[in-house]
Amino acid sequence: MKKDIVIDGVVVPMKCTGATPAFYRELFKHDLFKELAGMQKFLITDTNGQTVPDLERFDFGIVERLAYTMAYQADRQIGSMVDWLDRFEHSTAILDAMADIIGLYMEGLNSTSEVKKKNAGPTVK
Protein backbone atom coordinates (compact mmCIF):
# COMPACT_ATOMS: atom_id res chain seq x y z
CA MET A 1 0.00 0.00 0.00
CA LYS A 2 1.38 3.40 -0.97
CA LYS A 3 0.31 6.69 0.53
CA ASP A 4 1.61 10.24 0.77
CA ILE A 5 1.84 11.50 4.33
CA VAL A 6 2.44 15.16 5.14
CA ILE A 7 5.18 15.59 7.73
CA ASP A 8 5.98 19.15 8.78
CA GLY A 9 4.54 20.48 5.51
CA VAL A 10 6.59 18.04 3.40
CA VAL A 11 4.75 15.43 1.32
CA VAL A 12 6.48 12.12 2.05
CA PRO A 13 5.66 9.09 -0.10
CA MET A 14 5.45 5.96 2.07
CA LYS A 15 4.92 2.32 1.27
CA CYS A 16 3.80 -0.48 3.55
CA THR A 17 3.92 -4.10 2.39
CA GLY A 18 4.47 -7.54 3.81
CA ALA A 19 8.19 -6.77 3.56
CA THR A 20 8.00 -3.77 5.92
CA PRO A 21 8.99 -5.80 9.02
CA ALA A 22 11.91 -7.33 7.08
CA PHE A 23 13.11 -3.91 5.91
CA TYR A 24 12.81 -2.64 9.51
CA ARG A 25 14.87 -5.57 10.78
CA GLU A 26 17.46 -5.13 8.02
CA LEU A 27 17.80 -1.38 8.58
CA PHE A 28 17.73 -1.27 12.39
CA LYS A 29 18.44 -4.80 13.68
CA HIS A 30 15.21 -4.64 15.71
CA ASP A 31 12.04 -6.72 15.46
CA LEU A 32 9.18 -4.41 14.49
CA PHE A 33 6.48 -6.68 15.91
CA LYS A 34 8.18 -6.90 19.31
CA GLU A 35 8.73 -3.15 19.41
CA LEU A 36 5.13 -2.37 18.52
CA ALA A 37 3.85 -4.89 21.06
CA GLY A 38 6.06 -3.32 23.73
CA MET A 39 4.81 0.12 22.78
CA GLN A 40 1.24 -0.84 23.76
CA LYS A 41 2.03 -0.80 27.48
CA PHE A 42 3.03 2.87 27.31
CA LEU A 43 -0.32 4.07 25.98
CA ILE A 44 -2.66 5.80 28.39
CA THR A 45 -6.15 7.27 28.24
CA ASP A 46 -6.25 11.06 28.55
CA THR A 47 -8.98 13.17 30.15
CA ASN A 48 -10.91 13.21 26.84
CA GLY A 49 -10.96 9.43 26.63
CA GLN A 50 -8.37 9.37 23.83
CA THR A 51 -5.55 6.82 23.77
CA VAL A 52 -2.25 8.71 23.77
CA PRO A 53 1.39 7.81 24.49
CA ASP A 54 2.76 8.31 28.01
CA LEU A 55 5.33 10.97 27.09
CA GLU A 56 7.65 10.03 29.95
CA ARG A 57 7.94 6.34 29.00
CA PHE A 58 7.04 5.98 25.32
CA ASP A 59 9.91 5.26 22.87
CA PHE A 60 9.23 7.65 20.00
CA GLY A 61 12.25 6.25 18.19
CA ILE A 62 10.04 3.34 17.13
CA VAL A 63 7.76 5.74 15.25
CA GLU A 64 10.75 7.50 13.66
CA ARG A 65 12.20 4.14 12.56
CA LEU A 66 8.85 2.95 11.20
CA ALA A 67 8.35 6.22 9.28
CA TYR A 68 11.84 6.02 7.81
CA THR A 69 11.36 2.35 6.87
CA MET A 70 8.15 3.04 4.97
CA ALA A 71 9.65 6.15 3.31
CA TYR A 72 12.69 4.05 2.34
CA GLN A 73 10.42 1.42 0.80
CA ALA A 74 8.81 4.12 -1.33
CA ASP A 75 12.13 5.76 -2.30
CA ARG A 76 15.42 3.92 -1.82
CA GLN A 77 17.35 7.14 -2.57
CA ILE A 78 16.30 9.06 0.56
CA GLY A 79 19.68 8.78 2.26
CA SER A 80 20.42 7.91 5.87
CA MET A 81 17.79 8.22 8.56
CA VAL A 82 19.54 11.23 10.11
CA ASP A 83 19.72 13.00 6.73
CA TRP A 84 16.08 12.17 6.09
CA LEU A 85 14.98 13.50 9.49
CA ASP A 86 17.04 16.64 8.89
CA ARG A 87 14.60 17.56 6.08
CA PHE A 88 11.99 18.46 8.66
CA GLU A 89 12.09 21.85 10.35
CA HIS A 90 10.60 20.87 13.71
CA SER A 91 12.02 18.26 16.05
CA THR A 92 8.51 16.95 16.76
CA ALA A 93 7.56 16.59 13.08
CA ILE A 94 7.42 12.79 13.10
CA LEU A 95 5.56 12.75 16.39
CA ASP A 96 2.99 15.19 15.04
CA ALA A 97 2.35 12.79 12.12
CA MET A 98 2.40 9.69 14.34
CA ALA A 99 -1.30 8.87 13.88
CA ASP A 100 -0.94 8.91 10.07
CA ILE A 101 2.28 6.87 10.14
CA ILE A 102 0.92 4.16 12.42
CA GLY A 103 -2.41 4.33 10.58
CA LEU A 104 -0.69 3.51 7.27
CA TYR A 105 1.08 0.57 8.87
CA MET A 106 -2.19 -0.71 10.36
CA GLU A 107 -3.97 -0.28 7.00
CA GLY A 108 -1.23 -2.39 5.44
CA LEU A 109 -1.77 -5.09 8.05
CA ASN A 110 -5.52 -5.05 7.53
CA SER A 111 -5.33 -5.18 3.73
CA THR A 112 -2.84 -8.07 3.90
CA SER A 113 -5.17 -9.97 6.23
CA GLU A 114 -8.13 -9.42 3.91
CA VAL A 115 -6.19 -10.72 0.88
CA LYS A 116 -5.15 -13.83 2.82
CA LYS A 117 -8.77 -14.45 3.86
CA LYS A 118 -9.99 -14.12 0.26
CA ASN A 119 -7.27 -16.40 -1.14
CA ALA A 120 -7.48 -19.01 1.59
CA GLY A 121 -10.09 -21.09 -0.20
CA PRO A 122 -12.59 -23.37 1.49
CA THR A 123 -11.86 -24.81 4.90
CA VAL A 124 -11.60 -28.59 4.96
CA LYS A 125 -13.12 -30.26 8.03
CA distance linking residue 46 with residue 41, whole number of Å:
15
123 band by pLDDT with thresholds 50, 70 and 90? low
120 band by pLDDT with thresholds 50, 70 and 90? low
Select the more confidently predicted residue: 36 or 113: 36
* pLDDT confidence of residue 1: 92
Q: In terms of C-beta density within 10 A (0-12 exposed, 13-18 middle, 19 or more buried), how is residue 25 classed?
A: middle
* Beta-strand runs (E) in 9-65: 10-15, 43-45, 51-53
Select the more confidently predicted residue: 17 or 44: 17
CA distance linking residue 15 with residue 17, whole number of Å:
7
Task: Please determine, for residue 15, whether its predicted confidence score (pLDDT) is greater than 70.
Answer: yes
- With beta carbons less than 8 A apart as the criterion, state whether 94 and 82 touch: no
Write out pLDDT tens, residues 57-112: 878 899 999 999 999 999 999 999 999 999 999 999 998 999 899 899 989 877 65
Residue ranges of domains in the chain: 2-119
Q: In terms of C-beta density within 10 A (0-12 exposed, 13-18 middle, 19 or more buried), how is residue 87 classed?
A: middle
Task: Please determine, for residue 117, whether its predicted confidence score (pLDDT) is greater than 60.
Answer: no
Write out pLDDT tens, residues 31-68: 999 998 888 788 888 888 877 778 788 788 999 999 99
